Amino acid sequence: MSVKRPNTAEQFRLDQPKKAASAAYTYFLAHPKDENSKRNIVYYRDGARVAESDFLDLEMVPYKEHYIRATLAYKSDEWEEVISHMEQCLEEYYLEFERCELTCEAKFSTEETEFKTGIADWMLYIMNCRSLCERDLSKVFIEPIEDFVRDMYSYLQFSYSSLKQFDQAVQAAANFLAFDPTHESMLENKRILLTREGVKEEDFQPQQEVVDYVRKNSELKELLFSIVDNYRHQQPVQEYPDKEAPEQDRDLFNEIGDLIVEMTESDDWMLRYEQLGMNVIARSVDLNREERFVTDGMLRPEQCDELLTLTEDLPTEPQGSQLFTLKVAQQKLEEDPNEEIEATLRLYARSVEVLKHYTQRYLNPDMTYYFKKSSIVCWPPSEESRTCYPQEDGTCVKFDDMSDELYSDLYTTVTYLHTADEDSDFSFLNEEKGIDRALGLKCGRTIGFNTGDRHFVKIPKSGSKRCAVVLRYTFNRDLDDRDYNDLITMLHRVEELRMATAKQKPEVVLKKFADAGVKVTKERKQLKGKERVVADGIASEAQCETLRNMVLTRGMAGDGYNGITTPHTLYELFLGLSVPDVNKSEALAGDGYDHLKTKPSEVSPHTEHELYRGMNIYRAGKLAFEEKISLGALRDFLDLSEASRLFTEKYFNLTKPLYFDFTHLVCRSAVDGSNSNREDLSHPVHADNCNLQPNGSCFREFPSFFHRDYSAILYLNDDFEGGEFFFAHGNQSEQSDLVSHSNVVSQVSVRPKCGRLVAFNAGHFHGVKAVKSGRRCALALWFTHQAMFKELAHVQVRSNHSYRNARSPVFID
């Protein structure tokens, strides 16, 4: 009786001539002097009739090479070789995997979350990112190999058995079974091994490393069970075939490894949450009973505002509360499947997902939590005196009807959507009907407690209603709230539907642009590259002026930090553009670059010789709402953004929709006296979605905005000197230190003027020449194909009622 030879999916693949040819060729590339591998190549090329093009140059990462060598050795029964390479492969694979996870983490904790669609997106993003590590790393060849890691133990098990090294074979079998405890052939192998002398059942212990790996991956998958699948499916839809989507090469981990090593090695989710500003402010010891906690910072103010819009027009229940439930959500979406509602519901879904994850991690990392019920509960103000205790879930109960015990499997979190005074307090009750602890309301504050824990809420007598996201969890999967999955599915369908109906023919749209006076003035030929275009007439002189003024009056608020000239450089005199009545917080210096904490000034993040003031969509929306800028100005901001987006999408004939990722209105102006002999650039050579390396390569990875697909800049004036936009040569290898100098080799430059749009693939190198005098204003836009990175602010601002009513749809059918 002999141990079964693995008959895995992977082996089957390896038997396919193309894959095997690729493997052999890859191996040959790594070992050009190896006679054996040369023979292999010849064998495959001649014998298997594989086309030349199938000899792909696969990237060699050490573990992949070991994998290929091991599988080749396996084919020729060279067991020692198999073992040696598989063991090394596994060792290096685990390291690579860890790197991959840390990369997700690095992206997660360092990107400028302020301008992203929110913490919740990032949360989801990192979960998704981590779950992709396993799959991406299993791409030894072009496609992921199913059960890649598991099956390596199968190879090992078989090879060790063939060499009669049964202890190791047992170990390998145990490791394999840690992945799949019911795998029939392996169980059969185990039975066979057990017949060997000295082999006992208890010898089948998987290694800790394997146990940890399996646990981590299955936890993550569980967590992503309903939601990530939906997001993943959101990407290529049938109507929008994935047009030359560049495969992100995840093998760059080697390159960024150094960066990551510096990052924390801790696997502590709580720490990560803290990095995002989610801080526990009270634990059960502070709150007099087990399972209680209070955490602040779970939502940002604008997210609270957005979620509150879901509570408008809710009917009042007999007990006086109002409920926004998932059923209501579905209804809303069915009645009016518009983008605003969709975006808000997405935010809701992501937020509750984060809250669930957080709660689970905080309380009970070993349990899986399911939503039993998810809702927003509001208590409208009321003068009524009650004999019952109003609850966070919207009911009102008598003291004697309150549970006296904590439940073993029900838990509740309440997350407030606004800040309120003590009129709205939350209180835990003790057995004597006394108040154990009272807590005030704050946007993003989350109180967690066992569902059986006594509490009540104060209902404000006047003012706005008291609202919170109330989530009830269970550990029992059967009690899982189906409505939640239904909502997610619905959101996905709405998106699909909208994409399908919004799909307008490029010719039709471009003709409309032409009729409105838009003229393409430079195309790929003149611009020396595909996916580049310059068009004039996108904005009128009046619109340019409106946007310029917006930055000047509101974007340049403040007089340079209380009259202090910054110590950075002698050029950095603030221009004294103070607008006395303007609140400084309205304008963020270098808005959009506030992650550059070292430059908390008006000085351009790119050159100290220029000042830099900007405004993003969210801020503009807020100012309009506060009536500090006119609705007309906001409309111009939004309409010009949309026109630029639509033009870019249609001109490049993109088959997938482009979403806004970030929209930034910005002016750069020369500092007085700095105009002579400037050697620097206003914006050094860069690409918008990757990290330019000194050797000229550019990685679409952390910390760049790797998800950006296209960029467009709409210029607003020409009364300044210098400031030309230019495309630069892709290969900067001989001029790496020149990327920020004026003598950089530019391929072709574009002189800004009002209404001129330059749009291009975000991966193309470009820069801006020094602004030698005057002020240069532009609307910079970055777009993405990934719905997940949609700039929520656009939708938020558009959903503002007064704006929506005032809006005349331009360029939209």
Ligand X SMILES: O=C(O)CCC(=O)C(=O)O
Neighbours of 331 (CB within 10 A): 11
d(CA 223, CA 530) in angstroms, rounded, equals 42
Choose the contact partner of 725 out of ligand X, Fe ion, none; CB within 5 to 8 A by kind. Answer: ligand X
Which C-beta is closer to ligand X: that of 207 or that of 740? 740
Tell me the one-letter amino acid at 679: E
Identify the bridge partners of residue 296 per DSSP, sorted by sequence position.
279
Beta carbon of residue 778, minimum distance to ligand X (angstroms, whole number): 5
d(CA 407, CA 390) in angstroms, rounded, equals 20
Beta carbon of residue 713, minimum distance to ligand X (angstroms, whole number): 4
d(CA 382, CA 463) in angstroms, rounded, equals 9
Which C-beta is closer to ligand X: that of 460 or that of 752? 752
Beta carbon of residue 122, minimum distance to Fe ion (angstroms, whole number): 23
CB environment 278-298: b (16+ within 10 A), e (fewer) = bebeeeeeebebebbbbbbbb
* Residue 407 Cα to chain centre, angstroms: 36
Choose the contact partner of 346 out of ligand X, Fe ion, none; CB within 5 to 8 A by kind. Answer: none
Which C-beta is closer to ligand X: that of 375 or that of 689? 689
Q: Which residue is nearest to Fe ion (CB)?
A: 688
Tell me the one-letter amino acid at 596: L
Choose the contact partner of 145 out of Fe ion, ligand X, none; CB within 5 to 8 A by kind. Answer: none
Beta carbon of residue 708, minimum distance to Fe ion (angstroms, whole number): 9
**Helical pair 148-162 and 166-179, crossing angle rounded to 10 deg:** 160
Beta carbon of residue 764, minimum distance to ligand X (angstroms, whole number): 10
Which C-beta is closer to Fe ion: that of 495 or that of 688? 688
Choose the contact partner of 650 out of Fe ion, ligand X, none; CB within 5 to 8 A by kind. Answer: none
Beta carbon of residue 514, minimum distance to ligand X (angstroms, whole number): 24
Binding stretches for Fe ion (CB under 5 A): 688
Strands, DSSP E only, in 458-528? 466-474, 519-522
Which C-beta is closer to Fe ion: that of 583 or that of 693? 693
Beta carbon of residue 689, minimum distance to Fe ion (angstroms, whole number): 9
Which C-beta is closer to ligand X: that of 358 or that of 662? 662
Beta carbon of residue 718, minimum distance to ligand X (angstroms, whole number): 12
Site for ligand X in 780-799 (CB under 6 A): 780
Beta carbon of residue 689, minimum distance to ligand X (angstroms, whole number): 10
Parallel/antiparallel/unpaired status of strands 532-536 and 757-761: antiparallel
Which C-beta is closer to ligand X: that of 614 or that of 621? 614
The tokens describing 272, both together, are: 């990560």
The tokens describing 12, both together, are: 């089957």
Choose the contact partner of 370 out of ligand X, Fe ion, none; CB within 5 to 8 A by kind. Answer: none
d(CA 153, CA 190) in angstroms, rounded, equals 13
Give me the 141-180 binding string for ligand X, x by CB under 6 A, dash otherwise. ----------------------------------------
Choose the contact partner of 214 out of ligand X, Fe ion, none; CB within 5 to 8 A by kind. Answer: none
Beta carbon of residue 606, minimum distance to Fe ion (angstroms, whole number): 10
Beta carbon of residue 84, minimum distance to ligand X (angstroms, whole number): 49
d(CA 323, CA 342) in angstroms, rounded, equals 19
d(CA 173, CA 169) in angstroms, rounded, equals 6
Give me the 642-661 binding string for ligand X, x by CB under 6 A, dash otherwise. --------------------
The tokens describing 287, both together, are: 């709150």
User: Contact between 551 and ligand X (CB under 6 A)?
Assistant: no
Neighbours of 497 (CB within 10 A): 12
Tell me the one-letter amino acid at 728: A
Beta carbon of residue 621, minimum distance to ligand X (angstroms, whole number): 21
Which C-beta is closer to ligand X: that of 223 or that of 716? 716
Which C-beta is closer to Fe ion: that of 691 or that of 800? 691
Which C-beta is closer to Fe ion: that of 636 or that of 688? 688
d(CA 232, CA 499) in angstroms, rounded, equals 16
Give me the 709-748 binding string for ligand X, x by CB under 6 A, dash otherwise. ----x-----------x-----------------------
Q: Is 567 exposed, middle or buried (0-12, 13-18, 19+ CB in 10 A)?
A: exposed
Triad 354, 134, 350: Cα angle to 5°: 15
- Contact call for residues 683 and 742 (beta carbons, < 8 A): no
Site for ligand X in 503-542 (CB under 6 A): none
Q: Is 350 exposed, middle or buried (0-12, 13-18, 19+ CB in 10 A)?
A: buried
- Contact call for residues 495 and 234 (beta carbons, < 8 A): yes
Q: Which residue is nearest to ligand X (CB)?
A: 725
**Sign (positive/negative) of CA torsion 777, 778, 779, 784?**
negative
Beta carbon of residue 735, minimum distance to Fe ion (angstroms, whole number): 18
Q: How many residues touch ligand X (CB under 6 A)?
A: 8
Beta carbon of residue 683, minimum distance to ligand X (angstroms, whole number): 5
Helices first, then strands: H and E counts in the chain? 24, 26
Which C-beta is closer to ligand X: that of 472 or that of 683? 683
Which C-beta is closer to ligand X: that of 118 or that of 590? 590
Site for ligand X in 439-478 (CB under 6 A): none
d(CA 16, CA 44) in angstroms, rounded, equals 11
Which C-beta is closer to Fe ion: that of 40 or that of 689? 689
Choose the contact partner of 780 out of Fe ion, ligand X, none; CB within 5 to 8 A by kind. Answer: ligand X
d(CA 158, CA 2) in angstroms, rounded, equals 10
d(CA 103, CA 106) in angstroms, rounded, equals 5
Give me the 553-592 binding string for ligand X, x by CB under 6 A, dash otherwise. ----------------------------------------
Q: Is 645 exposed, middle or buried (0-12, 13-18, 19+ CB in 10 A)?
A: buried
Beta carbon of residue 662, minimum distance to ligand X (angstroms, whole number): 10
Choose the contact partner of 768 out of ligand X, Fe ion, none; CB within 5 to 8 A by kind. Answer: ligand X
DSSP-based three-state secondary structure for 146: coil
Choose the contact partner of 96 out of Fe ion, ligand X, none; CB within 5 to 8 A by kind. Answer: none
The tokens describing 38, both together, are: 């040369």
**Sign (positive/negative) of CA torsion 691, 697, 701, 705?**
positive
Which C-beta is closer to ligand X: that of 460 or that of 555? 555
Q: Which residue has the tokens 């952390």?
A: 702
Which C-beta is closer to ligand X: that of 371 or that of 725? 725
Which C-beta is closer to Fe ion: that of 453 or that of 688? 688
In 195-338, where does DSSP find H-type helix? 208-223, 227-233, 253-261, 269-275, 301-308, 326-335
Choose the contact partner of 458 out of Fe ion, ligand X, none; CB within 5 to 8 A by kind. Answer: none
End-to-end CA distance of the chain: 73
Choose the contact partner of 713 out of ligand X, Fe ion, none; CB within 5 to 8 A by kind. Answer: ligand X
Which C-beta is closer to ligand X: that of 24 or that of 771? 771
Beta carbon of residue 783, minimum distance to ligand X (angstroms, whole number): 13
Beta carbon of residue 692, minimum distance to ligand X (angstroms, whole number): 12
- Contact call for residues 144 and 67 (beta carbons, < 8 A): no
Choose the contact partner of 770 out of Fe ion, ligand X, none; CB within 5 to 8 A by kind. Answer: none
CB environment 232-258: b (16+ within 10 A), e (fewer) = eebeebeebeeeeeeeeebbbbeebee
Site for ligand X in 744-783 (CB under 6 A): 766, 768, 778, 780
Give me the 662-691 binding string for ligand X, x by CB under 6 A, dash otherwise. ---------------------x----x---
Q: Which of 439, 403, 186, 394 is nearest to 295 (CA)?
A: 439
Contacts with ligand X, residue ranges (CB under 6 A): 683, 688, 713, 725, 766, 768, 778, 780
